[in-house]
């Protein structure tokens, strides 16, 4: 089977990101998954999910039946979910981050706005990464700042609906009749999320996200896992890419939303999210020729790791 071109694969990835982003926002309202603090009730796939503890307190079941219910309806599903999640990460790395995570979708979108406004993907980049003939457009600054504020507040409201009835939260919000607790949560959490989106988007993904950390640990433990392979025999071509396509650095480096260097060894790519943007840039700059960067998995990934070690030595 002929692999999809990277540009087409990026379109598919955008579609999965948008779909999961919508699911994240709508899940509480549809009772797909939320924990209602007002009722101390877990909702899963539109159903009340009981672990049997309430029935035990009301003497409706025996302790043995309650323990069995806790194992079958609580502990076992959680263990199976974690095992499946880490199994995917063991094989493919942080694919959840790059293909589904709502936060990473915001990281990429806000990076694009900031790049148009300042020529940088992050406020902490030391130099611009605009291509020849491009220039920063200041009109993007208001959109970038307002987007950080909007999504920071939307994030806090959405998380609140995972803990309280969504209809109540939104009715209080739209009627400007929030309770003191609801207002404090939205204000404090919204402010924290806004600052994070403004100043530390990819930094949180790299150093602050526990979900990403455990995916990376599973990925690093598997030498056969999916990796970005670099053809070092053609490394000289990257010099032309640096001058012609990305004056501030090679195109693959500037494309990475995590601010990594894709041609580096696997150990230095610990927080790679397998978004494939570096491969897309490499493919586009080679104009029909075989790109220097390609995904490899299985035995090819082992060979790539061995080549990396030999090159380092």
Q: Are strands 41-44 and 47-49 parallel, antiparallel or unpaired?
A: antiparallel
In 2-23, which positions are buried (b, 16+ CB within 10 angstroms) versus exposed (e)?
eeeebeebbeebeeebeebbee
* Cα angle value 282/283/287 (rounded, 5°): 115
pTM of the model: 0.85
Strand 227-230 with 41-44, pairing: unpaired
Q: Which of 17, 19, 25 is nearest to 159 (CA)?
A: 25
On the CB side of 19, how many CA atoms lie within 13 Å of its CA?
A: 8
pLDDT score recorded for residue 1: 41
Edge-to-edge order in the sheet of strand 47-49? 33-36, 41-44, 47-49
Q: Could you read off the pLDDT tens digit of each residue along the chain, which spans 313 residues?
A: 445 678 888 999 999 999 999 999 999 999 999 988 888 888 888 888 877 666 666 667 677 777 777 787 778 888 999 999 999 999 999 999 999 999 999 999 999 899 899 888 888 877 777 766 678 888 999 999 999 999 999 999 999 999 999 999 999 999 989 999 999 999 999 999 999 999 988 889 888 899 999 999 999 999 889 998 888 887 777 776 755 455 556 778 888 888 888 888 888 899 999 998 988 888 887 766 778 888 888 887 777 777 766 665 5
> What sections of the chain are H helices per DSSP?
6-26, 53-57, 63-70, 76-92, 95-99, 102-118, 140-161, 166-174, 180-199, 201-207, 210-220, 237-244, 251-255, 277-285, 299-312
Q: What's the Cα-to-Cα distance from 157 to each of 24, 126, 162, 200, 261, rounded to whole Å?
A: 12, 34, 9, 20, 36
Q: What gap in Å lies between CA 243 and CA 257, rounded to an integer?
A: 21
Identify the pLDDT of residue 308: 66
Angle at 286 between CA 281 and CA 291, to 5 degrees: 75
Query: Could you give the CA distance from residue 223 to residue 24 in angstroms, rounded to a whole number?
Result: 33
């Amino acid at each position: 089977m002929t692999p999809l071109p990277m540009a087409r694969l990026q379109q598919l990835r955008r579609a999965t990101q948008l779909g999961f982003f919508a699911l994240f926002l709508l899940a509480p309202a549809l009772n797909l998954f939320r924990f209602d603090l007002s009722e101390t009730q877990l909702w899963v796939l539109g159903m009340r999910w009981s672990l049997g503890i309430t029935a035990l307190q009301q003497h409706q079941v025996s302790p043995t039946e309650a323990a069995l219910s806790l194992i079958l309806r609580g502990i076992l599903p959680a263990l199976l979910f974690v095992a499946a999640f880490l199994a995917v990460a063991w094989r493919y790395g942080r694919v959840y981050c790059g293909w589904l995570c709502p936060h990473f979708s915001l990281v990429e979108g806000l990076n694009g706005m900031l790049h148009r406004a300042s020529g940088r993907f992050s406020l902490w980049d030391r130099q611009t990464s605009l291509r020849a003939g491009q220039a920063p457009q200041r009109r993007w600054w208001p959109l970038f700042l307002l987007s950080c504020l909007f999504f920071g507040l939307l994030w806090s409201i959405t998380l609140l609906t995972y803990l309280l009835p969504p209809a109540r939260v939104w009715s209080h919000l739209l009627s400007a009749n929030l309770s003191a607790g609801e207002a404090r949560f939205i204000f404090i959490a919204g402010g924290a999320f806004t600052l994070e989106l403004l100043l530390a988007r990819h930094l949180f993904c790299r150093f602050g996200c526990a979900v990403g950390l455990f995916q990376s640990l599973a990925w690093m433990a598997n030498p056969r896992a999916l990796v970005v392979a670099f053809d070092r025999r053609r490394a000289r071509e990257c010099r032309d890419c640096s001058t012609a396509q990305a004056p501030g650095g090679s195109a693959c480096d500037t494309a990475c939303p995590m601010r990594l260097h894709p041609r580096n060894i696997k150990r230095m790519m610990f927080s790679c999210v397998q978004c494939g943007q570096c491969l897309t840039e490499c493919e586009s700059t080679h104009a029909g020729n075989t790109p220097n960067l390609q995904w490899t998995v299985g035995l090819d990934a082992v060979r790539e790791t061995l080549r990396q070690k030999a090159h380092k030595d």
